[in-house]
Amino acid sequence: MSDSVLLLLKELRLPGFARHYKTLWQTAADSGWSHVDYLLALCEYEMADRLQRRIQKWRRESQLTTTKTFATLDRKPFSGQNQRSIAKLEQDVEWARRSDNVLLIGPSGTGKTHLASALGHALIEQGIRCKCFPAIALVQHLQQAKRDLDLMTAMTRLDKYPVIIIDDIGYVKKTDAETNVLFEFIAHRYESGTLIVTANQPFSAWGSIFTDGMMTVAAIDRLIHHATIIELEGESYRKQQYVEKAKSEVKRETT
C-alpha cells in the first residue's frame, strides 16, 4: 500500500508529501490529529520544500557570486549613514516591489559589487527574483539583440526579473551603439523594474558613458527617481587586504 502511495505522490510531483507522509502519519496517530491537521502539515512541508527548490534555482540563474553575501560583508569601513541605509535595504525589501532603484557610487574596491551581490542574495531569500550582469556583458547582449532586430523582445524577457543588477556601468564604452541600447534599457525599466547599479564615477562624470549630454541627464533622471543612493568612500578593500597580507608575511619571516 505504501509503495502505491509513494508512486502516486511522485507522479503528482509532490516530493514533500513523499518524504514526510510516513513520519507525519505516525506523529498524527500519536498526537490524535484530525485528517485535516495531517493534510495541513503535509501541505506546509510541500510548500517549504518548493520554496527551497525555487530559491536554489533562482540563485543559480542569478549569476551572483556565492561568497558575496551580507554574512561576509565587512561593514566597518562604511559611514554610519551608509550602514543605516544598507540595513534598511536589507531588512525591508519593499523598495524592490515598488521598483525603486539602488545606486552604489564610489572608487574601485570600496565594496560596491559585494554590496550589490549581498542585496541580490537577500532579495532571493525574500522571494524576489534577480539577475546580475557586468555592464559590458549586458550591453553586448542588448547590442546583439538589436542587430537581430529583436531588442524589445530581449528587454521584455528580462522583465521576469523584478531586479536587475548592472555592475560597473562606468566601463561601458562611449559609442553610439553601446550608449543607445543602455539608455533604451534604462528607459524600459523606468518605474517597472528595479535596477541596482554600481559605478566608480560620480554622476558629474557620466558624460564619459553617454555620447550625448541630454541622454546623460535623461538616464540619470530616470535612475535617481525613486532611488536610494549610497556613496562609498575610503581605501580599496583589495588594497587593504594586500597590505594586511604583506604585513603578516613580513611578521612570519621575522619571527
Alpha helices in the chain (DSSP H): 2-11, 15-31, 35-62, 80-91, 94-97, 112-125, 135-147, 151-157, 176-189, 213-224, 237-253
Mean model confidence pLDDT for the chain = 88
pTM of the model: 0.81
Whether the Cβ atoms of residue 93 and residue 122 lie closer than 8 Å to each other: yes
Instruction: Supply the pLDDT for residue 242.
Output: 53
Rounded CA separation 80/253 (Å): 38
Q: Residue 225's pLDDT band (boundaries 50, 70, 90)? A: very high
Residue type, 216: T
**Residue 243 scores a pLDDT above 50:** no
